[in-house]
Structure 1
Amino acid sequence: MSTGQPPSTIGLTTISRTVASLAVGVVHTLERAVVGEERMRTSRGNAWEAVCADRARADRRAELNRLVEELAAARAAARADERQPVS
């Protein structure tokens, strides 16, 4: 029986994680250098952009619903005019 520890090896997943970590660090540093500190994307900024996008979608949806309602009312009025007898 062997009581020794198995030899420590670097696996493929360790290398992948290391490369990914380094890539994230490089991208982060590059973004800071290119856009500047004040224009860095943050989770707060991303959340605010998402809120604004949701509001814009809701506004467009409400406008579309209003237009559909107007079209349905105009169509109903036109049908009602067709049904009235001509005197």
Structure 2
Amino acid sequence: MEFTVAFPTAPTAPAEQAGFAAVSRAVVSAAADLVTGVQRAVVGPTNIRTARDNAWDAILADRARNAARDELTREVTAMLSRSR
């Protein structure tokens, strides 16, 4: 015995929505280019932040947090051992 199942499908998006998305992407891209150009003009081309710079700063911040946590752990351990 076979059963045939039909699923209703959603109507396809009209062409205007696809055009709106393309225009939105173009506006965002132009805005990003403008911000990058302003950043170059203000801070100079050698001082522009990159994803690599941001990642390195995050790594350094993680290392500093870990070092501070380790130092606090050592201090607490020392205080607890003195109080016994």
TM-based fold match above 0.5: yes
**Corresponding residue for residue 50 of structure 1:** 58
**Corresponding residue for residue 32 of structure 1:** 40
Tell me by how many angstroms 1:24 deviates.
Answer: 0.5
Q: 3-state DSSP class of the match of 1:41?
A: coil
Q: Which has the larger radius of gyration?
A: 1
Tell me by how many angstroms 1:18 deviates.
Answer: 1.1
**Corresponding residue for residue 74 of structure 1:** 82
**Corresponding residue for residue 9 of structure 2:** none
Which whole-Å deviations, capped at 9, do the CAs of 1:14-60 have from their partners, x for residues lacking one? 22111111110100111100110111112222222122111111110
**Corresponding residue for residue 80 of structure 1:** none
5+ residue gaps in structure 2?
1-14
List structure 1 segments (4+ residues) > 4 angstroms apart after TM superposition.
Answer: none
Q: Structure 2: which amino acid aligns with 1:44?
A: R
The Cα RMSD (Å) is: 1.7
Give TM-score, length-normalised by structure 2. Answer: 0.71
* Sequence identity (%): 42
**Corresponding residue for residue 12 of structure 2:** none
Decide which of 25, 33, 49 is 1:41's aligned counterpart.
49
Separation in structure 2 between the aligned mates of residue 65 and residue 44 of structure 1, nearest angstrom:
31
Give TM-score, length-normalised by structure 1. Answer: 0.69
**Corresponding residue for residue 8 of structure 2:** none
